[in-house]
Amino acid sequence: MADSWVNLAERIGSDLHLELTGPGGRRSLLIRTLRDAVRDGRLAPGTRLPPYRSLAADLGLARNTVAEAYAELVAEGWLVARQGSGTRVAPRTEPVRLPRVAKRTAGAAPPTHNLRQGQPDAASFPRTAWLAAARRALGAAPNDAFGPGDPQGRHELRRALAEYLGRARGVRTTPERIVVCSGVAHALRLLFGGRVLRGPLAVESYGLAFHRSLLEEASVRTVPLSLDERGARTGELENLKGVRAALLTPAHQFPTGGPLHPQRRVSAVEWARTRGGLILEDDYDGEFRYDREPVGAVQGLDPERVVYIGSLSKSLSPALRLGWMVLPEHLLAPVLAAKGEREAWASVVDQLTLADFIDSGHYDRHIRRMRQRYRARRDRLVATLAANAPHIAPTGIAAGLHAVLRLPPGTEHSAVKAAAWQSIALDGLAGFRHPAATMPADDGLVVGYATPPDHGYGPALEALCQVLPPAES
Ligand SMILES: Cc1ncc(COP(=O)(O)O)c(C=O)c1O
């Protein structure tokens, strides 16, 4: 096919050569060649392609071959066909890279619509109140605050946290049981990488892949617990050989969204008591509950059998890298030993600022303000779906910063792909599933509603509705 090399300059107004060489039939060769031309930018978005007949004549192909190739590229999202205006290269920016969860390739263009779960609304960071707290904290700090620092964390912060967590989350603790760290991931690294605890560890069948891989790096085998409408099936713990600890998200299962049923909370703690084991409670967004009072921490049931782990990553900002563990007594010394002499993680200045921010009531105020804001966002998502895609059920919506849209079986992969081509960043449920999970795999999209700026939220929801699978007829 060496003579099928053509110059389309006069028809599409650019210096483009299509060379149909290589293996495969003519149709797939043409598809591949056109796709490559769009991908590498030789065919720019909006460029009108020649009519079937003339391209077929130029390339010595059957008209149908060209028509089929165009149709395939339209279905893949590379081209768009409009009545009366022919076939054009789709008007889109760089596709979002898939299927990594919460990762963007260095140098890739940011998505047009960011509906990926994981981040709070960055524009709502309370800059003025945080600055004022920092100023007060720095003014009041004793000189020793500017020394090497206490690996357990500043006592001002541990005192403020003990009061706040008791009042707002039902955690039973004193400042002496709290260890400040840089977030949930750091807590898991200290516990398992520091050999305070050993695997195998029970985890939920759907969870954060990042946590699973950091556990793997610490040579900890994870064993999946099934989930149902009551949350993790904690009854399965009894049959797991060698498992002495379970990592759970009781306030708001991540990512499917329900709270752990009260009976399951009790049975998990009972299991830990009988087995001499532990529940690791990841309370990553426990404050954000919309339709009733927040669900209190499981830790309140038995502080000696539960490690409570919290973080500012959802409530304030993941950039602060501040979190905390509330430990049973017997784990305090080993965790501090794992942490080592020098605090290498959480800035003392930020710790003092947070202590002031909590003590002065600004943290509570911020949470209340954000709760209203996220609730309004959630309501808008639910209303948009009801109006435009009533066959898609949003679930896990009573709390948190994301919802799971349940899809008809077998449609998740194509919906995620379609979203990527429309430059919408989001994840399918499959990206959160434990590789050894045995429960049925439901199709769904995990949609974060906190991140888009106000002016971008409506367009993001509109774009989302365009990529949802149609109702089955
Ligand atoms: C399930 C889950 N746990 C914990 C966190 C917080 O992690 P970190 O405190 O390490 O930022 C997140 C995300 O913010 C999460 O989705």
For a mutational test of ligand 1's pocket, the pick from 247, 252, 284, 322, i.e. the residue with the most ligand atoms closer than 8 A to its C-beta, is 284
Residue range 249-274: mean pLDDT, rounded: 97
Task: Give span(s): CATH 1.10.10.10, the chain.
Answer: 2-89
Q: Is the pLDDT of residue 293 over 90?
A: no
**3-state secondary structure string, the chain?**
CHHHCEECHHHHCCCCEECCCCCCCHHHHHHHHHHHHHHCCCCCCCCECCCHHHHHHHHCCCHHHHHHHHHHHHHHCCEEEECCCEEEECCCCCCCCCCCCCCCCCCCCCCCEECCCCCCCHHHCCHHHHHHHHHHHHHHCCHHHHCCCCCCCCHHHHHHHHHHHHHHHCCCCCHHHEEEECCHHHHHHHHHHCCCCCCCEEEECECCHHHHHHHHHCCCCEEEECEECCEECHHHHHHCCCCCEEEECCCCCCCCCCCCCHHHHHHHHHHHHHHCCEEEEECCCCCCECCCCCCCCHHHHCCCCEEEEEECCCCCCHHHCCEEEECCHHHHHHHHHHHCCCCCCCCHHHHHHHHHHHHCCHHHHHHHHHHHHHHHHHHHHHHHHHHHCCCCEEECCCECCEEEEECCCCCHHHHHHHHHHCCEECEEHHHHECCCCCCCCCCEEEEECCCCCHHHHHHHHHHHHHHCCCCCC
CA of 1 to the centre of ligand 1 (A): 55
Task: Give span(s): CATH 3.90.1150.10, the chain.
Answer: 113-123+365-467
Question: How confident is the model over 144-187, as pLDDT tens digits?
Answer: 999 888 999 999 999 999 999 999 999 999 999 999 999 999 99
CA-atom Rg of the chain in angstroms = 27
Of the pLDDT bands very low, low, confident and very high (cuts 50, 70, 90), residue 7 is low
Of the pLDDT bands very low, low, confident and very high (cuts 50, 70, 90), residue 45 is confident
Domain 113-123+365-467: top CATH class? alpha beta
What pLDDT sits at residue 102? 43
What pLDDT sits at residue 374? 97
Q: Is the pLDDT of residue 246 over 80?
A: yes
Task: Give span(s): CATH 3.40.640.10, the chain.
Answer: 141-360
Residue range 265-285: mean pLDDT, rounded: 97
Residue range 8-14: mean pLDDT, rounded: 46
Q: Determine the atom of ligand 1 nearest the C-alpha atom of 323.
A: 9
Q: Determine the atom of ligand 1 nearest the C-alpha atom of 186.
A: 10
What pLDDT sits at residue 191? 98
Q: Is the pLDDT of residue 75 over 70?
A: no
Residue range 75-83: mean pLDDT, rounded: 70
CA of 51 to the centre of ligand 1 (A): 52
Q: Is the pLDDT of residue 208 over 60?
A: yes
Where is pLDDT greater, at 407 or 95?
407
Of the pLDDT bands very low, low, confident and very high (cuts 50, 70, 90), residue 424 is very high
What pLDDT sits at residue 98? 38
**371-388 burial code (b ≥16 CB/10 A, e <16):** beebbebbeebeebbeee
Rounded Cα gap, residues 201 and 210, in angstroms: 15
Domain 2-89: top CATH class? mainly alpha
Residue range 369-395: mean pLDDT, rounded: 96
Rounded Cα gap, residues 256 and 432, in angstroms: 10
What pLDDT sits at residue 104? 46
Q: Which of 48-57, 374-383, 421-430 has the lowest mean pLDDT?
A: 48-57
What pLDDT sits at residue 6? 56
Q: Which of 27-36, 96-105, 182-191, 199-208 has the lowest mean pLDDT?
A: 96-105
Give percent of the chain with pLDDT exceeding 70.
90
Q: Is the pLDDT of residue 291 over 90?
A: no
Rounded Cα gap, residues 451 and 114, in angstroms: 7
Q: How confident is the prediction for the chain on average, in pLDDT?
A: 89
Residue 120, ligand 1, Cβ within 6 A: no
What pLDDT sits at residue 445? 98
Domain 141-360 has CATH 3.30.70.890: no
Give percent of the chain with pLDDT exceeding 90.
73
Residue 184, ligand 1, Cβ within 6 A: yes
Of the pLDDT bands very low, low, confident and very high (cuts 50, 70, 90), residue 345 is confident
Residue 185, ligand 1, Cβ within 6 A: yes
What pLDDT sits at residue 257? 95
Q: Determine the atom of ligand 1 nearest the C-alpha atom of 318.
A: 11
